[in-house]
Amino acid sequence: MPKIKTHKGAQSRFHITGSGKIMRTKGGKSHLRRRKAKRTKRLYDETVPTSPSDRVRVKRLLPYGVR
């Protein structure tokens, strides 16, 4: 069997924790941040787990569990 290629866009957007959770960063943090409150901007810095409906698709794009 040939190796499966990792999707490079997914590799840069997701990472897998040691326990197997797929974590993602929040969108909307690149521009138009001056008008947002400081508290709101801090919320963009944290990573959140991927929703259960997207986990199957992301696991297919990251076959070897990119860390």
- Does the domain formed by 8-61 have CATH 3.40.50.300? no
Query: What is the H or E stretch that residue 24 is in?
Result: strand 22-25
Per-domain residue ranges of the chain = 8-61
Report the Cα 27 to chain-centroid distance in Å. Answer: 10
Res 39: pLDDT: 92
CA distance 51 to 8: 20
Average pLDDT for the chain: 90
Indicate if the pLDDT at residue 66 is higher than 80.
Answer: no
User: How do residues 7-46 score in pLDDT, each as one tens digit?
Assistant: 999 999 999 999 999 999 988 888 888 898 999 889 888 9
Confidence label for 67 from pLDDT (cuts 50, 70 and 90):
low
